Amino acid sequence: MDKGVNKVVIIGSGPAGWTAAIYAARANLDPVVYVGVPKQDPGPVLPGGQLMLTTEVENFPGFPHGVQGPEMMALFRSQAERFKTRVIEDDIVRCDFSTTPFTLHPGEGPTIRAHSVIIATGAVANWLGLPNEMRLASSGGGVSACAVCDGALPMFRGAEVAVVGGGDTAMEEAAYLTKFAGTVHMIHRRDSFRASKIMQERLLSRPNVKVHWNKTVVDVLGGEKCEGVVLEDTITKARSNLAVTGLFIAIGHTPATKFLKDSGIELLDTGYVALKCRKSTTNIPGVFAAGDVADAEYRQAITAAGMGCQAALDAERWLAAQGVH
């Protein structure tokens, strides 16, 4: 093995990245994890991924009484570090996969070389970009970008909640919320949804759904908790208040793959990393991907962790085939 070349470098520090690190470290692959640095994009993006903006996590096995998102990520990191994972507080901003070993360029530190790489940078929820929206999302004040993650929490049961969006994701999120909320207010900036007809019919058949056409949210009301939203009519520009205690943003996600530009990694039209044969392998041998950066469908902590396990096992087997132990 070349001196100074890492066996595996993991980019990203959400459930996928830390799980990959735990498996790789226990396999004596001496993984290095680039956890990233905080940034605004337009909402907060933190090392640890979207769980850093989640308060109570009740659907991850092993936590019968729930766990705070940041606490869970701290536990994941602690477990990875227990097995001697090396952690670097920096971003990878550019990758050169044209030759092996691969060369990765951090934002601040020196370049690093690797025999294999696991991409686990996740995806960022698209937010409206309103100051109160971001404040309440960060503090657990009733604003969320994942109804499946948060919709069953006691604070939303029997409550008036709103969903912003008009695509299939918004229909799925709203339909899920109808099981718990008193009324689900759909807020859409146009006079028709862009979601598939069957998804629309499924949602609109629910008795506790109310649609607000040609409306946008221009402010979120409330101090410590969401108390309502300010709606603006897209045609008349008239404004009105809607009293809700929960606001769910369902306008899509953006995978964190900008740093892969010109790297040779195949991306889907949506920007997600393309995987081969239902595994973690990409189009470049030795480069693997896991979690929300390659998963536009499930986007759950538990599925991301499972994909992190797959990526580490695939990397271990690939390295062994190359004679790297």
Catalytic site positions: 146, 149-150
CA distances 185 to 16, 41, 100, 154, 161, Å, are 33, 27, 53, 18, 6
β-bridge partners, 8? 116
The contacts of residue 181 (CB under 8 Å, 6+ apart) are 151, 156, 157, 158, 159, 160, 161, 208, 246
Supply the DSSP symbol for 263: S
| CA–CA gap between residue 216 and residue 249 (Å, rounded) | 12
Torsion of CA 121, 123, 23, 107, to 10 degrees: 10
The C-alpha atoms of residue 255 and residue 63 are separated, in whole angstroms, by 28
Tokens representing residue 287 in the block? 């480069």
Complete DSSP assignment for 193-260: --S-HHHHHHHHTSTTEEEETTEEEEEEE-SSS--EEEEEETTT--EEEE--SEEEE-S-EEES-GGG
Distance CA 61, CA 57 (A): 10
